[in-house]
Amino acid sequence: RIAYVNGRYRPVTDTAIGIEDRGFQFADGVYEVWSVRAGRFLDHEGHRARLERSLNELRIPLPVGFPALDVILHEIVRRNRIEDGLVYLQVTRGVARRDHPFPPGPVRPTLVVTARALDLKAADARAAQGVGVITRPDLRWKRCDIKTVNLLPNVLAKQAAREAGAHEAWLVDESGHVTEGSSTNAWILTGEGVLVTRQTDEKILWGVTRLAIKALAEQEGLRIEERAFTVEEALRAREAFITSATSFVTPVVSIDGRPVANGAPGSVSMRLRALYLEAAERV
């Protein structure tokens, strides 16, 4: 595998970042993930725009221009011969003597881009079966709308899910409402047929896939409410699902070991998944 690191393409195993990189020391950096299908980026512009927003929020300059970034993204796909997979990008504030405030002098931000293949057949099989989620308290900071590499609460929640034999952890805020999954947005379809997902506040990452699915659902004439829902409401729902760049739409069939509806993937969830993947093939 080939990685891009600060201007050079190198084998992943032959790259290095300084030990005083602020990403390593303070999680002072942002990241972005694109899905690649049949060699093409999904929602390319949405992820680029969110990267720009994350960088602006933390006042980290991108060390290359956006046109050059585009070249790097395509080059990393080409060099790794990715047909179906993902591209991972990370920008940190750079290497400087360890001290909490921003470095006083000009520091070149660290830019790393990698790519890897994903097994789409396994993902499709997972979606066809549906996945289980567990619930966990949301222990994260108050700016989850910024896509920072500060992911320790997400890591611990995902690990708890895996240890419980579940696929994802839904994070629950202090008022008992689901914020989102540890690496996905959370949705339900109520008994009345209303699609519900949390409003884009500072407690969730504004998923690019979330936005695309919202647009597709509107085209389908579905009623959508952007609001928080509780675990109890999700357990009474007709369907539930998660969205993310790499999982698209994946039905949720159990929450904390209790079935959602009849415990099988819902038809609206599966239809939205199919529509999203069809739309991806058309661009």
How many chain residues are in contact with ligand PMP, going by CB under 6 A?
14
127/208 with CB nearer ligand PMP: 208
User: Which residue from 42, 131, 245, 255 is in contact with ligand PMP, where contact means CB under 6 A?
Assistant: 245
Would you say 28 or 180 has its CB closer to ligand PMP?
A: 180
Q: By CB under 6 A, is residue 183 in contact with ligand PMP? A: yes
Residue placing its CB nearer to ligand PMP in the complex, 95 or 150 = 150
Q: Quick one: which of 88, 71, 82 has its CA closest to 40?
A: 82
Helix axes 44-58, 66-79, angle to 10 degrees: 120
- Catalytic residue (one of 121, 147, 158, 214): 147
For position 180 contacting ligand PMP by CB under 6 A, the verdict is yes
Query: Please, are residues 18 and 103 in contact by the beta-carbon 8 Å criterion?
Result: no
In this chain, which stretch among 4-12, 60-68, 240-248, 249-257 interacts with ligand PMP, using CB under 6 A? 240-248
> How many other C-beta atoms can be found within 10 angstroms of the C-beta atom of residue 94?
25
**Cα dist from 186 to 46, 92, 133, 223, 252, whole Å:** 19, 28, 10, 16, 9
Do residues 168 and 242 touch, judged by C-beta distance below 8 A?
A: yes
- Between CA 63 and CA 247 the distance in angstroms is 30
Supply the minimum distance, in Å, between the C-beta of residue 32 and ligand PMP: 8
Main-chain phi, psi angles of 229, to 5 degrees: -130, 155
Active site residue 147: yes
Please say which residue, 95 or 169, places its beta carbon nearer to ligand PMP: 169
Distance from C-alpha of 277 to C-alpha of 202, rounded to nearest angstrom: 28
CA 210, 248, 277, 265 dihedral sign is negative
Q: Which of residues 26-45 bind ligand PMP (CB under 6 A)?
A: 33
3-state secondary structure of 30: strand
User: Within 193-232, which residues bind ligand PMP (CB under 6 A)?
Assistant: 205, 207-210
Q: Is 185 in the site for ligand PMP (CB under 6 A)?
A: yes
Q: Does 80 bind ligand PMP (CB under 6 A)?
A: no
Tell me whether residue 94 or residue 247 sits nearer to ligand PMP (CB atom). Answer: 247
**Interaction between residue 148 and ligand PMP (CB under 6 A):** no
**Residues near ligand PMP, by CB under 6 A:** 33, 154, 180, 183-185, 205, 207-210, 243-245
Q: Which residues are marked as active site?
A: 147
